[in-house]
Structure 1
């Protein structure tokens, strides 16, 4: 069972909870089933381990997948507001 995606990631990248076609088995019986699981696992690695070439490649591939998923979508922070801001009068 996977935990819910990080709200910080989910609001900016809604494809993070997307499931893999085939789960990635880990030592100890755990599995990575979503992009969020993979990102959390990679980010939780100790610095010495994450500096290894194959983990650097895994991080870069995860970033590339994310870019491919959001290609062509507008940045949510730059989308126009659905309601105009209220105009205030300046009283003298």
Structure 2
């Protein structure tokens, strides 16, 4: 995904396609080698993870709250964030004061 639109291909296909407001067409776009898992460096960048934070995570979970309203709305408060899910699946979140 980029400013032009969405480019895609497959390992068994020599062509690259671009999908944008004009439709779908072949293009000369190229791809970087994406065969390696890049997700770890993206998701863990500047995050607090690993053994030093297990006790903190347990404490946050122990202090979390859950309740089901009369309207069927599921509610959680985890680490001062309220998350609600309505029976139709709509999820919303708000920071608690």
- Judge same fold: TM > 0.5, yes or no: no
How would you bin the TM-score normalised by the shorter chain? under 0.3
**Structure whose CA Rg is larger:** 2
What TM-score do you get using the length of structure 1 for normalisation?
A: 0.24
With normalisation by structure 2, the TM-score equals 0.23
